[in-house]
Copies of this chain bind each other. A is one copy, B any other.
């Protein structure tokens, strides 16, 4: 009756959301303190106080028609200028307001860039496992071919040898997501340099640039000494898709941007195509009040102590028990090798026997692994440790 792709996506239950819903039901039955819910990546630290102050200040000082009125599709000039200044300072690359396009979060930004790059029905976009599962429908339902690079299950960097073999004349872009969901790993500067050199070489070989689409919602969520490179500094044909969902804990407010730096080949044309692609997805402007909030909070940093404490506690305790995990330098995920090797069996057992909710790695393109979102209370982690112990004991 209806568009089959849209219908199937509408009825397809997201495994993560299903697990989260199960956790809520169990909590109602046996008490929230007895359910260890690591299912969902919803920030558990509040937005900085500066956000609330900014909203109040805007209401008190700006005309209502301006606060809530349309902005240009690319966003309010002064907001983009403030973000550009912040980026320029931090990454020693001149970014201008005109390089930025404000979006309703990272998802529509990514889709606009993907759509802009899909020049014909044979166009291919490369994704690196493990990956955020929505990339697949974002590419396929918008007319592109989804090409998957298998995971480097050692270090969770990028298997460049495998990727190089997958590149052909139809390759238009590669999605890079670092810090990574679900692995929590940050790609090293070396990995990104090698990636950039390879893409440069292949681009020359095929006579057109192969763009990196850098999906960066977790850019500011990084711990210890880990460093998140600004990829345009390493590979010039990089378009950045950013979101304030995680960095300012504003996931529901739908605010982010696309950055097409001047160094990008055919950057002006790509920016125009991104703007046109946004328009046919229903973009009119990013929410105006939130744009103004970002202008006032552009230099705010998230208070990561809670996440970092969780990260250390969970990583240390689980590895002590004998679990193997990727080194989680960023985001708020721990990617755990399933004892016994069968992540589906393990997660079902953990769910039904221990009320321990871990997401299976299969939809992330990485079977045999489990994702734990540690944006939870530290107390919940402590309470959950005996359940983790009981689970691994069964596999010893």
Contact = CB atoms under 8 A, between A and B. Distances in A.
Interface of A: 1-12, 42-47, 51-52, 55-56, 59, 63-65, 67-71, 103-105, 107-112, 115-119, 134, 137-138, 141-142, 208, 249-254, 266, 269-277, 279-290
A56 to B, nearest CB: 7
A285 B110 contact: no
B64 A43 contact: no
B2 A280 contact: no
Given A65-B46, A69-B252, A2 B104 contact: no
Contacts of A7: 116, 269, 272-273, 276
18 contacts: A1-B119, A1-B270, A3-B115, A7-B269, A10-B272, A10-B277, A43-B65, A46-B64, A52-B59, A56-B59, A64-B249, A68-B251, A104-B282, A105-B282, A107-B282, A111-B281, A137-B279, A252-B289
A179 B11 CA distance: 34
A280 B9 contact: yes
A-side interface mostly: helix
A55 B57 CA distance: 12
Count chain B CB atoms within 10 A of each CB in A47, A59, A251, A254 and give the residue with the most.
A254
B251 A70 contact: yes
A110 to B, nearest CB: 7
B4 A68 contact: no
A44 B65 contact: yes
Nearest to A1: B266
Contact of A3 (B69, B118, B138, B284): B118
A274 B105 CA distance: 20
Contact of A2 (B110, B119, B253): B119
Contact of A11 (B8, B9, B68, B272): B272
A307 to B, nearest CB: 14
B141 A280 contact: yes
A51 B69 CA distance: 14
A288 B270 CA distance: 31
Contacts of A9: 275-277, 279-280
Contact of A249 (B65, B142, B251): B65
A142 B273 contact: no
A282 B3 contact: no
Contact of A280 (B6, B109, B112): B6
A287 B284 contact: no
B3 A254 contact: no
